[in-house]
């Protein structure tokens, strides 16, 4: 059933909200459970659509998966299938995270090329060349990536770009390879550090977690563990920008503020009052935001997944902001929808200049990916009148109880059948 969110603008968001574990971590941790025979338990999991999708992927490979609210238990048998070429895999990007574990454990892995968000071409060349350096042969065959290796061996690998997905697949293959792998220019996102921490608890030997050089000494086997998923910095950042855009005051728990350092610094530049705690922060804004420029970059840069929120705040700011997208080439599709809401934007290559306006004006808009969908809801919160955000299944893939949480902060929003 198709659904939309009906949002009425004007409310000032106020209150306390807690974020769950990160979508971009839990799915990779679930895939990493393939590396060890036995039952792996993940706590603090978000209840989002992608988790049952990953459940289907793992079940298709022979695992038993139990979803119990925020706890996910995965029981991996001694022998798993290396063939992930089925419908569930094609439905979301993160399914490609099974490639590393399957290549390491099965000798031959076939993983259907993922679908997912319409944000850019998203090739797998760095995933493939990393595995090839470790002794695998890889090819794209009938819409799937196929990797084969009798026994992976350690290697020196330098990524052209600190790709999150390639870092994860190389890491989860290297933990079971023979010898030492040195991965340079690795991604440093907190979700990678979370994965390293879980792998270390499973018996992996990894040095340099959280830095751009990972040194991985392969082990003969790993054992299952219990792990708490790191808080979702993108969801937390969405709340921070929602608070600032609505001139509200929101306290966000369940997140290390250092994981959002630059995003919160930018809000301060826009005029917000930001206070940080051990495991959370508070954002308060009592005036129209000032224009601020943004450049998306790999962590610790400003996250591309918060780019729609940066555009949202720029659209109502005093002055002109320039936002530069350096990670995904198609992410400015979101700008077309913002223009429907009256935002004054001009795109030039991977830059968009936004002349801020006092207010936006409501209309019907369509989500093209998870973060664009959430960004449109934020814009709806500050638009005059009633905005309808369509295709909300995108938002449901990444934001647990989004409508309920927004309502608890005072937003006028409801989910209705389309």
327 is in an annotated binding site: yes
Cβ density class 149-163: b for 16+ within 10 Å, e for less: beebbbbebebeebb
- Tell which positions 276-305 bind ligand UD1, by CB under 6 A: 304-305
For residue 340, cis peptide bond before it (omega within 30 degrees of 0) = no
94 binds ligand UD1, rule: CB under 6 A: yes
Least distance (Å) from ligand UD1 to the CB of residue 372?
Answer: 12
Q: For residues 315 and 317, what is the distance between their CA atoms, to the nearest angstrom? A: 6
Q: Which of 47, 59, 125, 286 binds ligand UD1 (CB under 6 A)?
A: 125
DSSP state for residue 83 in the 8-state scheme: E
Least distance (Å) from ligand UD1 to the CB of residue 1?
Answer: 25
Q: Which residues contact 299 (CB under 8 A, 6 or more apart)?
A: 187, 188, 189, 190
Q: Which stretch binds ligand UD1 (CB under 6 A): 65-73, 140-148, 158-166, 211-219?
A: 158-166
**What is the chain's length?**
418
Q: Which of 127, 133, 188, 282 binds ligand UD1 (CB under 6 A)?
A: 127
Tokens of 362: 């409501």
Q: Which residues contact 239 (CB under 8 A, 6 or more apart)?
A: 17, 19, 250, 252, 283
Query: Does residue 117 carry a catalytic annotation?
Result: yes
93 binds ligand UD1, rule: CB under 6 A: yes
Contact predicate 363/387, CB 8 Å = yes
Residue 117 or 249 having the CB closest to ligand UD1: 117
Least distance (Å) from ligand UD1 to the CB of residue 161?
Answer: 5
Q: Which of 126, 283, 311, 374 binds ligand UD1 (CB under 6 A)?
A: 126
Residue 161 or 277 having the CB closest to ligand UD1: 161
Q: For residues 63 and 70, what is the distance between their CA atoms, to the nearest angstrom? A: 19
Q: Which residues are annotated as a binding site?
A: 23-24, 93, 305, 327
Residues at the site binding ligand UD1, with contacts judged by CB under 6 A:
24, 93-94, 120-127, 161, 163-166, 304-305, 327-328
Q: Which residues are annotated as a binding site for UDP-N-acetyl-alpha-D-glucosamine?
A: 93, 305, 327
Q: Which residues are annotated as a binding site for phosphoenolpyruvate?
A: 23-24
């Amino acid at each position: 059933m198709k659904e939309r969110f009906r949002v009425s603008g004007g409310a000032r968001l106020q209150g306390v909200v807690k974020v769950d574990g990160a979508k971009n971590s839990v799915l990779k941790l679930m895939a990493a459970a393939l590396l060890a025979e036995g039952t792996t338990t993940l706590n603090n999991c978000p209840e989002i659509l992608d988790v049952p999708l990953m459940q289907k992927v793992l079940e298709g490979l022979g695992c038993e998966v139990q979803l119990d609210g925020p706890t996910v238990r995965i029981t991996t048998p001694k022998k798993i299938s290396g063939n992930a070429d089925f419908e569930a895999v094609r439905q979301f990007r993160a399914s490609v995270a099974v490639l590393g574990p399957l290549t390491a454990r099965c000798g031959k892995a076939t993983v259907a090329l993922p679908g997912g968000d319409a944000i850019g071409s998203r090739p797998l060349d760095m995933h493939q060349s990393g595995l090839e350096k470790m002794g695998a042969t890889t090819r794209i065959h009938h819409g799937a990536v196929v990797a084969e290796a009798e026994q992976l061996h350690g290697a020196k690998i330098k990524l052209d770009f600190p790709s999150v997905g390639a870092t994860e697949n190389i890491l989860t293959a290297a933990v079971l390879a023979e010898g030492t792998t040195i991965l340079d220019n690795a991604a440093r996102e907190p979700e990678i550090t979370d994965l390293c921490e879980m792998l270390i608890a499973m018996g992996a030997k990894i040095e340099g977690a959280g830095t751009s050089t990972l040194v991985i000494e392969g082990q003969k086997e790993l054992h299952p563990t219990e792990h708490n998923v790191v808080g979702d910095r993108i969801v937390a950042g969405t709340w921070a920008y929602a608070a600032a855009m609505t001139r509200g005051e929101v306290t966000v728990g369940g997140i290390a503020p250092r994981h959002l350092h630059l995003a919160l610094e930018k809000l301060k530049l826009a005029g917000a009052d930001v206070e940080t705690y051990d495991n959370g922060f508070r954002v308060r804004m009592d005036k129209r935001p000032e224009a601020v420029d943004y450049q998306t970059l790999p962590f610790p840069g400003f996250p591309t997944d918060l780019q729609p929120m940066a555009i949202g705040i720029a659209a109502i700011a005093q002055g002109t902001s320039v936002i530069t997208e350096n990670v995904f080439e198609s992410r400015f599709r979101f700008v077309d929808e913002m223009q429907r809401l009256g935002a004054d934007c001009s795109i030039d290559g991977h830059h968009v200049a936004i002349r801020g306006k006092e207010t936006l004006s409501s209309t019907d808009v369509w989500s093209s990916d998870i973060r664009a969908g959430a960004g449109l809801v934020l814009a709806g919160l500050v638009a005059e009148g009633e905005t309808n955000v369509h295709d909300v299944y995108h938002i449901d893939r990444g934001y647990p109880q989004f409508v309920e949480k927004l309502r608890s902060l005072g937003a006028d929003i409801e989910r209705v059948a389309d």
